[in-house]
Structures are given as structure tokens and as C-alpha cells.
Amino acid sequence: MKNYKRADTHIWAGRTSEDQLYLHEKVTFLDLENDELIENQNTAFAILGYACDEGVRRNSGRVGAALAPDAIRKMMASLSNHLDKSVQIVDIGNIICNKNDLEYTQSYTSNKIAQILKYKYFTIVLGGGHDLAYAHYNGIKEYLPNSSIGIINLDAHFDLRKIESNGNSGTPFYQISKENDRFKYLCLGIQEESNNQELFKTAHQLGVKYIKSTDFNIQNRNYIFTVLDNFIDQVDNVYLTIDMDGFSSAFAPGVSAPSPFGFSIDIALAVIEQICKSGKLVSSDIVELNPEYDLDNCTARLAARLAYYIMKFISSE
């Protein structure tokens, strides 16, 4: 069975216009296994789905995140398009996890991400569980073997659980730390009550920088930007990963582990803009949306808008 499914063009539907007024009218399609990728001259975004919740299942979470990539695309389709005419958006389809083989799915994902980055696309990967981060980081590393890659994670959780027999959605950054001498990790929105004392100890031992959700708000903008800018200054490139469960469950109920005390959209968007405008961001993802628990698609709508604003901020950098 294949690990790849080309994009479903019918998902990208909505009002039509003569002048690409809506995002779905701007999207083109590429089959990662049959079509040739062409190196881009202008800004181009590749949308890749990671339709996998095996890591969530292994981490005793509520499965359903495998349905998220298409749920996010559906909500992106009807958004108004204010991107420059020269900007391209290519939907590259979904990666699928067969027979619970998370390890193979992750290595396949890393290869595909490296391939996409080599053709100068800015990749936005739609998860899937946060086990995507292990694959995504390795894909960036394959593309940029000699660069120091800083990871910025907007999340309620460190995801630094120690790996026992195999990885899951709670272990990706621990796995990365074990396999890389230079581990640079900034975690924004950490919730004390959702990370046990051992996880805080691991974070300290690994030199992880973090801001707790109680401090991650717009009133603290100056402090947050100082931490963020210092972190970005110390690395060559940035990988941004956004876990939807970091948002307050008032904004993002559709996740495996909801966060009543999560952060708000205003600070998340301000931080995302700052990261995009740093000129160091190479690739990004949005993970852990679970459409099974969503309410009127509000978490999917939020994820879709985050993807839109990443494209907007990067292309107007």
C-alpha cells in the first residue's frame, strides 16, 4: 500500500470569481510521485498533508488527527485571497500512515520534505500528530545539513517525553535532542498543569527555553519579543511548529488534549508574524487538530487562517 495520496482537487471549492478573489482559485496541484518539481523563481508555498495519528494513538491520546489536513484545506479554500499575484500555492497531497508503521511514515515524510525544500518551496505541512515534528526536523536537516536549526514550538506541551520502545506524539523533541549535538528549542505557551515535573527537569537539562502560558499574552509582548529575537539571533534557520492544543479550548476545542488555560490568538499571531519576518524561517507546520472533537469547524477555521497568515507574512517579508 502506498504512503502517498495525491491532492483531492474537489476539496478546494467555494465562490468563484474572475480574478482569484478566493484562495481555492489560486491553488494548483502536483503529484509528488509522478510530476516533476520545478525550481521556483518567485515565492511558492507547498501544502503537504501528514494524515497520521498513529503517534497520538501510541501516546494514549484521542485519535482523529489523520482527518485534519483535508479539514484545514476545506476551511482554507473559501478564504479571501490578498496574496500577491506572483505568489504560488501548490497542493502536494497527503502522506498516509499504513499498518501503524509510524517510523516508515516519518522517514518517508522527511525525504519528501527535503525534496520539496530543495526546489525552493516554502513548505506548510498540515498534521497529523506532533510526531510530525521529528520527521519535519529531519527533512529540514537533510536539506540544510550544516545549518543550526532552531525549533520554535507554540504548544501547551514540551513533547519531551523519553522514548521507551518507540516514538509517539509526545516524544519528537526528545528524539531530536538525542540525535543532534546542537539542540535549539524554544517552546511558547507551556502549561504547568499539563507537563509533569520530570518533563520540566528534562527541559532544563536540555537547555530548552520556554515561556509559560500564564506569561504568554499580549500584555507581555515586549518580554516575549526579547526572548524570541534572542533565540532567533542564535540560529541560522528556524522551523516553526504550531500545536493547536496550545490555544485556549475556547478557540481550539478540536484537539486530542484541550487547554482551558491556553493562549489567545493575538499573541500567537504577533509571534508568528515576527518569526516570518525574521527572514530565517524555512518551513512550518500546524499539528494536532482533531476534527472529531471540533465545534462548527472552529479549530479547523483557526488552523486555516494561521496557514493563510504564514503565507501572507512570508510573501510580504
Ligand X SMILES: N=CN[C@@H](CCC(=O)O)C(=O)O
Interface residue with Mn ion among 130, 184, 280, 312 (CB under 5 A) is 130
Confirm or reject binding of residue 59 to ligand X (CB under 6 A). yes
Strand partners, 22: 80
Where does this chain touch Mn ion (CB under 5 A) — which range of 81-89, 138-146, 216-224, 235-243?
A: 235-243
Confirm or reject binding of residue 130 to ligand X (CB under 6 A). yes
What is the spatial distance between Cα 210 and Cα 279, in angstroms, rounded to a whole number? 22
Confirm or reject binding of residue 156 to Mn ion (CB under 5 A). yes
The closest of 240, 31, 233 to 123, measured between CA atoms, is 240
What is the spatial distance between Cα 254 and Cα 178, in angstroms, rounded to a whole number? 31
The closest of 65, 63, 122, 136 to 92, measured between CA atoms, is 122
Three cell numbers written together for 255: 484537539
Task: Classify the C-alpha dihedral 148-111-113-132 as positive or negative.
Answer: negative
- Count, residues near ligand X per rule CB under 6 A: 9
The closest of 141, 82, 83, 72 to 282, measured between CA atoms, is 141
CA dist list (Å): 2 to 5, 94, 95: 8, 11, 9
**Smallest separation, CB 279 to Mn ion (Å):** 26
Confirm or reject binding of residue 157 to ligand X (CB under 6 A). yes
Three cell numbers written together for 124: 506548510
Build a one-symbol-per-residue string for 247-276: x at contacts with ligand X by CB under 6 A, - elsewhere: ----------x-------------------
Q: Give whichever of 17 and 100 is closer to ligand X, judged by the CB atom.
A: 100
Confirm or reject binding of residue 58 to ligand X (CB under 6 A). no
Confirm or reject binding of residue 131 to Mn ion (CB under 5 A). no
**Smallest separation, CB 273 to ligand X (Å):** 25
Residues belonging to the binding site for Mn(2+) are: 130, 155, 157, 159, 243, 245
Q: Footprint of Mn ion on this chain (CB under 5 A)?
A: 130, 155-157, 159, 243, 245
Q: Footprint of ligand X on this chain (CB under 6 A)?
A: 59, 61, 130, 157, 159, 161, 169-170, 257
